[in-house]
Chain A
């Protein structure tokens, strides 16, 4: 049986209560709004690019502890990454929260984001963990909206 402590790890709770980069970027080059119509979670992700790299990233919005902590830790992980690195990270993250990542290599590459592996025991919460990432991806692709549906 999945354990609640695997889902609500200390660092996740901490980020949900005090999210990092929780701000609008006034001079954002790209932004997108993400929405989960099932639960009403809603985030806006702002990106400031420098060439092919993410110079700055911020987010605003509301959602559950998992979605908020995921958004917060995502912004920390993505700052300074290139588009390709960011895309790779999202893939790894997605594999992790859906329980498909097994090789240790993934976990090392994910860094702190590996704490979200506990989500895989709670399939109903995968969309919470990935909402901010989908929104980020939409912003990066120049789309204005992302939806988990």
Chain B
């Protein structure tokens, strides 16, 4: 695998080199888990919005770390501690470059998008949101971008406002903008909806909010594995994502925050590493980003995430986005032609997620029947119950694509859905 971090980049951090021809079979060969049969059929993994599979490069990086470099960071004077610290901080730099952040200190390692959003709600939120203030989210958010704000609003006596979406699952910008009021203290919006696949115009949203001096947090859990993200181009104030949805390990993720905001925010958790001196009378906190990384962090996770990001860079985010778009179009056409099937989420800008329902068949039953064919999809409310309510369904079946999925796999999905019809008559 090419180590992309060392390659020349343009101002926005994009690697300057020819994109290699995208060959899905070569990509598939990088993912050991895909070489297996499930219930006698080749595994068709279409649950990537829940979590993605890991390339060998990520698995190897974690093994290598534990076999050669494992030690605690930022404390030991010994050789291994130095090496582990270097690995951890090198990962931060790779993430900085990948997201187009201005400084490595703007990358905070967290457990995942959920922790990133809770961190902002509990630090920036608690110091800026007061009784009568408002937090603005959208009607298509994942529970992880709803509940942390609800907790904050409950504590402060603030109000959670929700910008509406239309029947296609598009955010209604004309209704969103007037909700940015004098009491709005923060906007929190998903980049790509996990339940609908909608790609939100986050740069426009940020521009609208900034015109009223309101900071914007973007939940990028579904976006980072699917589209090229540049936080400075988006100009968002915070950007959150999970490593495991971006072909990295579980238990590691990133909160990007603009340095000026991070510096004035109070710490999230107290403990080791986040301090520069402690007495029983007073503790002086460490600098950003360490102020927000209390305790021994997930070092191997950061190492694995770096490998995942370098893998994505190697394949090319533009190639991935183009490939998944092709799969999405192919699947949208094929699935909407099946009688009795209705797509939930038909936004103009969509990324590799197809939610659907079938007349007279509950999504759970669809999931079981597809599973018998070795096809993994997600069924249920996708941690987005308000979205289900908006579309008048209890649940949907959701196929979500990754860079290793193929048209043949979509054909298998379509045959599987036809089988559901056969079983249910």
Pairwise interchain contact A64-B364, C-beta atoms closer than 8 A: yes
Pairwise interchain contact A128-B364, C-beta atoms closer than 8 A: yes
B380 close to A (CB within 8 Å): yes
Binary flags per residue of A65-90, CB closer than 8 Å to B gives 1, else 0: 11110000000000000000000000
Question: Who on chain A is nearest to B361 by CB?
Answer: A65
Question: Who on chain A is nearest to B369 by CB?
Answer: A4
A7 to B360, CA, bound (A): 17
Binary flags per residue of A121-145, CB closer than 8 Å to B gives 1, else 0: 0101100100000000000000000
B residues apposed to A, CB below 8 Å:
39-40, 360-365, 368-369, 372, 379-381, 385, 388, 394-395, 423-425
A39 close to B (CB within 8 Å): yes
B40 proximity list for chain A (CB < 8 A): 1
Pairwise interchain contact A125-B368, C-beta atoms closer than 8 A: yes
- 4 shortest interchain CB distances as A-B pairs: A64-B362, A64-B364, A40-B394, A39-B380
A122 to B363, CA, bound (A): 16
Find the residue from B360, B388, B394 having the highest chain A CB count within 10 A.
B394
Binary flags per residue of A20-42, CB closer than 8 Å to B gives 1, else 0: 00000000000000000011111
A17 to B425, CA, bound (A): 11
Considering only residues 39-69 of chain A, those with a C-beta below 8 Å from chain B are 39-42, 62-68
A63 proximity list for chain B (CB < 8 A): 362, 364, 394
A40 to B389, CA, bound (A): 11
**Which of A1, A13, A62, A122 meets B368, CB within 8 Å?**
A122
Majority-rule SS of B interface residues: mixed
Pairwise interchain contact A42-B372, C-beta atoms closer than 8 A: no
Pairwise interchain contact A41-B424, C-beta atoms closer than 8 A: no
A residues apposed to B, CB below 8 Å:
1-2, 4, 7-8, 13, 17, 38-42, 62-68, 122, 124-125, 128
Question: Who on chain A is nearest to B40 by CB?
Answer: A1
Pairwise interchain contact A13-B372, C-beta atoms closer than 8 A: no
A10 CB, min distance to chain B CBs, angstroms: 10
B39 proximity list for chain A (CB < 8 A): 1
Question: Who on chain A is nearest to B385 by CB?
Answer: A40
A68 proximity list for chain B (CB < 8 A): 362
Pairwise interchain contact B379-A39, C-beta atoms closer than 8 A: yes
A122 proximity list for chain B (CB < 8 A): 368
A13 to B379, CA, bound (A): 19
A72 to B365, CA, bound (A): 17
Question: Who on chain B is nearest to A3 by CB?
Answer: B372
B424 proximity list for chain A (CB < 8 A): 8, 13, 65
Question: Who on chain A is nearest to B388 by CB?
Answer: A40
B381 CB, min distance to chain A CBs, angstroms: 5
Pairwise interchain contact B380-A38, C-beta atoms closer than 8 A: yes
Pairwise interchain contact A39-B425, C-beta atoms closer than 8 A: no
A41 proximity list for chain B (CB < 8 A): 364, 394
B388 proximity list for chain A (CB < 8 A): 40
Pairwise interchain contact A65-B365, C-beta atoms closer than 8 A: yes
B123 CB, min distance to chain A CBs, angstroms: 29
B395 proximity list for chain A (CB < 8 A): 39-40
B142 CB, min distance to chain A CBs, angstroms: 15
A122 to B423, CA, bound (A): 16
A42 to B389, CA, bound (A): 14
Pairwise interchain contact B380-A62, C-beta atoms closer than 8 A: no
A138 to B379, CA, bound (A): 27
Pairwise interchain contact A7-B380, C-beta atoms closer than 8 A: no
A65 to B365, CA, bound (A): 7
A67 to B362, CA, bound (A): 10
A40 proximity list for chain B (CB < 8 A): 380-381, 385, 388, 394-395
Pairwise interchain contact B365-A64, C-beta atoms closer than 8 A: yes
Question: Who on chain B is nearest to A127 by CB?
Answer: B364
Pairwise interchain contact B380-A8, C-beta atoms closer than 8 A: no
A68 to B361, CA, bound (A): 11
B359 CB, min distance to chain A CBs, angstroms: 12
A22 CB, min distance to chain B CBs, angstroms: 15
Question: Who on chain B is nearest to A122 by CB?
Answer: B368
Pairwise interchain contact B425-A13, C-beta atoms closer than 8 A: yes
A43 to B59, CA, bound (A): 44
**Which of B360, B385, B394 meets A62, CB within 8 Å?**
B394
B183 CB, min distance to chain A CBs, angstroms: 33
